[in-house]
Amino acid sequence: MNSLNDQTLLDLRAAARSQRKISSIAKNQALLKIAERLASSAKEIIEENKKDLAALPADTAAAFRDRLTLNAERIDGMIESLKQVAALPDPVGELIEQSTLKNGLLLKKVRAPLGVIFMIFESRPNVILEAFSLAFKSGNVILLRGGSESKYSAAIIYRLMRESLGASGFAQAPFHGVEDYDRALVEKLLKRKDMIDIVVPRGGDKLIDYVQRTALMPIIKNDRGMCHTYVAEDADLTMAAKIVANAKTQRPGVCNALETVLVNEKVAAQFLPLLYQETSGKNLQWHADAASLTILKGQARVTPANPEDWDTEYLDLIMNCRVVKNLDEAIAHIEKHGSKHSEAIITASEEKARTFQQDIDAAAVYWNASTRFTDGFEFGLGGELGISTQKLHVRGPVGLRELTNARWLVDGHGQTRG
């Protein structure tokens, strides 16, 4: 499976035709078989992952190293994700709506797989099984290409998947793991709209931009997460500090982590020292506007924000902070600098919350909760192929139903159109 040529792509297309007809029981049993193999091979996976980690340059950012790391807890999470996907309803063939026309034609709108999905991802090897399980359960096949930094981790996971699927009776593997890390191959694949139906890039700005400029097939775009939280004047400030701290520091290297906190001027003097204290043990770096600097004067790790900071996804323990006059100013800031991923408001007023949720154009908009919940696993989808920030087909976590589309089945008894 290390090579990828026209025959490999033809095999994937053939597997996609077969996959549409596989029973839910067979798919679920195969996923559980992979979960069992993953559990029995955890130590081996971790040893291979250590090779990837050892190959990283000494100055690699902590957030990047974290995304690459596999440990017992994360492998348990992968196993649980497989089990959850196996337990979810199979969307293939699901009846969305049905009607009978005056001429007697019976119309049925049903869910159908997308076909061959090409997913390009960076650094996170646990994405492999998450993406595969969702594509597989929703009747698709998937072509997976990770970054070379995870090549040892990916290789063993691909091998375990192939062996488990073979033991489950799948003669045609419903996936292919690309282990050729030549970037020229990616460019060639992005031109193969004859063989690949959908491409899903999951990574940084450069990857997303490259795929958008190069791909000839449709894209499900997982853009950067420039996420904000607005603390209103009537917010429970103790709760707000805990929510903002969680959104920023619980796992800063992921797309649903907060990058900018906006604070109403009426509570800024009280709230910002509270938030500083809440995050004091995290070594958080603050990039603050003039009003925030005045309030936090003399505090360590607080520096003036530059204009470009408001558009920077740090994926690190760095946070922007700005004091705003009111809800309208907070919304205007988010509309200008947000990436339409996840935004939050902390307020005691349902009226303010609903205004915020209605006016903010994002895939997920929260009231009194951390943006870190924008995640397929947390949403009960078993996992995700990413968080879509686009507007066509799907927004938010890309789960099973989002990997199908609707088609029409039309039953007649001799009708012709006059």
Q: What is the pTM of this model?
A: 0.85
Number of Cβ within 10 Å of residue 415's Cβ equals 12
> What CA–CA distance (Å, rounded) separates 233 from 157?
49
Domain 227-373 has CATH 3.40.309.10: yes
Give the CA distances from residue 307 to residues 115, 198, 304, 332, in Å, rounded to whole numbers and listed in that order: 44, 36, 10, 16
Beta bridge partners of 222: 202
> What CA–CA distance (Å, rounded) separates 258 from 342?
9
Give every strand in the sheet of 198-202, ordered side by side.
175-177, 141-145, 116-121, 198-202
Look at 109-118, 221-230, 233-242 and tell me which has the smallest mean pLDDT.
221-230
> What CA–CA distance (Å, rounded) separates 336 from 257?
18
Look at 31-40, 57-66, 347-356 and tell me which has the smallest mean pLDDT.
57-66
> What one-character DSSP code corresponds to residue 393?
S
Residue 246's pLDDT band (boundaries 50, 70, 90)? very high
User: What pLDDT, in 10s, does the model give residues 326-339?
Assistant: 999 999 999 999 99
The pLDDT of residue 12 is above 50: yes
Q: Collapse the DSSP code of 321 into the 3-class scheme (helix H, G, I; strand E, B; otherwise coil) and give the result.
A: strand
The pLDDT of residue 45 is above 60: yes
Beta bridge partners of 176: 143
Question: What is the average pLDDT value for the chain, to the nearest integer?
Answer: 94
- Are 6-222+385-411 and 227-373 the same fold in CATH? no
The pLDDT of residue 26 is above 70: yes
pLDDT at residue 386 in the model: 84
Beta bridge partners of 286: 302, 319
pLDDT at residue 173 in the model: 84
Q: Collapse the DSSP code of 384 into the 3-class scheme (helix H, G, I; strand E, B; otherwise coil) and give the result.
A: coil
The pLDDT of residue 63 is above 90: no
> What CA–CA distance (Å, rounded) separates 86 from 31?
6
List the chain domain ranges.
Answer: 6-222+385-411, 227-373
Note the Cα 295 to chain centre separation in Å: 36
Q: Averaged over 240-267, what is the pLDDT? A: 96
The pLDDT of residue 39 is above 80: yes
Residue 3's pLDDT band (boundaries 50, 70, 90)? low
The pLDDT of residue 366 is above 50: yes
Q: Looking at beta carbons, which pairs linking 197-201 to residues 24 or more positions away fall under 8 Å?
A: 197/114, 197/115, 197/116, 197/117, 198/114, 198/115, 198/116, 198/117, 198/118, 199/117, 199/118, 199/119, 199/120, 200/117, 200/118, 200/119, 200/120, 200/131, 200/385, 200/386, 200/398, 201/119, 201/120, 201/121
The pLDDT of residue 259 is above 90: yes
> What CA–CA distance (Å, rounded) separates 159 from 244?
41
pLDDT at residue 1 in the model: 41
Of residues 392 and 124, more confidently modeled? 124
CATH superfamily membership of 6-222+385-411: Aldehyde Dehydrogenase; Chain A, domain 1 (3.40.605.10)
